[in-house]
Amino acid sequence: MLDKVLRFFISAFMAIAGATLMQFASPLLTAFISTEVFNIDMGLFRITMANLLCILIGAVAGGLVGFFTSSYFVGKLKKFSLWVENQMSKTPTHDIIAGAIGLAIGLIIANLLGAAFSKIPFIGDYIPVLFSIVLGYLGIHITIKKRKEFVTLFDFIPHMLKDYARNKESKTAEQIKTAAQKADAGKLYKLLDTSVIIDGRIADICKSGFVEGTLLIPVFVLEELQHIADSSDLLKRTRGRRGLDILQKIRTECNMQVEIDNRDFDDITEVDSKLVRLGQVVGGKIITNDYNLNKVSELRGVPVMNINELSNAVKPVVIPGESMHVTVVKEGKEQGQGVAYLDDGTMIVIEGGRRYMNAAIDVEVTSALQTAAGRMIFAKPKV
């Protein structure tokens, strides 16, 4: 389809060119054709029979020449376009952009200078064309050669934009932080960590009304609980699901306001460190039973409420002589010992429990050790 369109335009162009050229032969025909036969006055110019015949002959001849030679010109145009395409593909994009800019600048300058010299007699009409060719070429050549130097002239622009974006971002972050601090002012936040949620006693403490303020559950703590609940290890999976059940119990049964905080700290990887940072931001207290988190929080100026210390102040969890039904899951450190765990993760050391490995047995509590670092129960198989 494109070939046909090109051939049509080439034939039309040749026909117009032939008609124009044949007009110069019209004076020769006036000797054979009387101008009286066909003479039309159109005001600005006069058409005679000689003029009309010359135009028709020139148009037909030019059209025929264009029709038969159009295939040749179309082939040349295709080859030229392929050559241009190959050259453009080899040229870097930044050179093409620089050349286009240089060409535009050169043509603008040529137009301004050409207008000043166009009134010179005889050669004035050709000077703008000459200027356009020369200055257009110089514009392309100079901008490609001096491209790096031109770019360095505008290096300050990206730096200005980066500084503007950085200042705007810092101002926005400060505004958000100030707004958050104002919103948090007057709220007594209590932050729950993973261990205290899995422990489960916090639900009973909240239900009893001994904890005031708003319980704040960070989103990264929820994600850690979900990760534990999805673990392939049976013990970890049980603890994770217990923690999620405790959270649901706190939200439904406790008469306290519970909020989920979506703030995260991407520059910190440890959940405990994120919790301490969040405690510093909101000015709240951390509720935990993790001894190490307790000490780190105190060193960093974040108040801590350790429920193990609360448990020590109230009553022991178990008393000697109490019976329990547990499953021995691994060997103890001492010879013959077996180790079992409660649902909240409390370790039970069973004397002589090694022979009951992976079996569910009834044990009798002999003693319990409760410290700020956690609790440990000692027992023996019930006879």
Phi-psi region of 288 (alpha: psi -120 to 50; beta: other; left: phi over 0): beta
**pLDDT at site 361:** 92
Topology agreement, domain 186-313 and domain 318-381: no
Domain definitions of the chain by residue range:
2-151, 186-313, 318-381
* CATH fold group of domain 318-381: OB fold (Dihydrolipoamide Acetyltransferase, E2P) (2.40.50)
Phi-psi region of 209 (alpha: psi -120 to 50; beta: other; left: phi over 0): left
pLDDT (tens place) for every residue of the chain, 383 residues total: 677 777 788 788 878 877 777 666 555 555 555 544 444 444 444 556 666 777 777 778 877 887 788 778 778 878 877 877 776 677 677 777 877 888 888 888 888 887 777 777 777 777 888 888 888 888 877 887 777 776 666 665 666 677 777 776 665 656 655 555 554 544 688 888 888 888 888 888 888 888 888 888 888 888 888 888 888 888 888 988 988 898 888 888 887 788 888 888 888 888 888 888 888 888 888 888 888 888 888 888 888 888 888 877 766 567 888 898 999 999 998 889 999 998 877 889 999 999 999 999 999 999 888 766 667 899 999 87
**pLDDT at site 37:** 44
The model's pTM? 0.40
List, in order, residues 6 or more apart from 344 with CB less than 8 Å away: 198, 199, 200, 201, 239, 242
* Architecture label for domain 186-313: 3-Layer(aba) Sandwich (3.40)
